Structure 1
């Protein structure tokens, strides 16, 4: 039945492309989560009136975040080709897409982390300080737990954006479902291949959103 409806689809290629997309998305989400939280904490803590107030560090971090957040992803991939070649030895393949994916997504998530931290009631932080909590205790016992539902929502949105980034990365030889849809589907006028690749991407996005909603609900104390 499937062979009649989708005559040009080679399921082994679809599976390989799906694995490549999941690899790129999974690795980049984990690294983006770590870097984004670090950058977001720096942006929040060094801002005026906060624990580590420092105009210079805040200004430099904000500038880096704003610059890389503003560069369109497809252009960022091209700009990072020399760096990628030095780092992984090639600018083709799923592994070569990781630097651009991470550098493109981490600043985006960092701003979402900063926004989540700003929504925390200052009174909770002041109460922790009055009880003698150190700055690092305030970070991992107050700031992170209080903002956790928002952080989960943010990384869910970022992960979905990363799936679309991997599709765009396929246009420059990164592999994955985007590469399959473009090279094997669009360029060869095989609409069924493009359709299948799109459906699989939508399924991945649906699963990510479902997990994100679940964990946000579990961690929300309200």
Structure 2
């Protein structure tokens, strides 16, 4: 008996954070029946925020309808908020998708497409205060489900989101099997990883050196595209 494909579509754009995309993609591609599509405006390589490129598998125009749509984040989100082709693709795909998801600041792409209005959502800790600008209700969690919309926090949380979705679709045993397959057993060398668990001087330093400026850029981009 032929299994109906479950189409997983990642919408990508220049300056995405590659782990926002590749983390969940590595897990979701192993779901029973999964077919992963990497969609962009063209088939030209998409440059990530670490300098190497990812080659899309399909264009927005030719992409099949997603069963699960995922939008990663990264340094390219602020300029992407004014990319009508990307926003329209996300909005149109979301209208028929079973699951509409994001990782990190990809939540703001969902928000700009009108998909977070009145919904609980999360994003990277450096930007959570901006979620109300796209109509979302901020929730500080690694993964937030609100109906069929799922938002994950910063970067590595995309793996947790993928495993949670897999469990929803195929049961906990399948999710646990994939967790074992990829030896996902986080044991970081340092306590931290969130503002609440990191030393206050490090949090302050990161905000001052990076996130205050980046959040201001995101806020300006959201205002410009409101």
More helix by share: 1
TM-score after normalising by structure 1: 0.26
TM-score after normalising by structure 2: 0.26
More strand by share: 2
Whose relative contact order is higher, 1 or 2, with alpha carbons under 8 Å and at least 6 apart? 1
State the structure with more CA Rg. 1
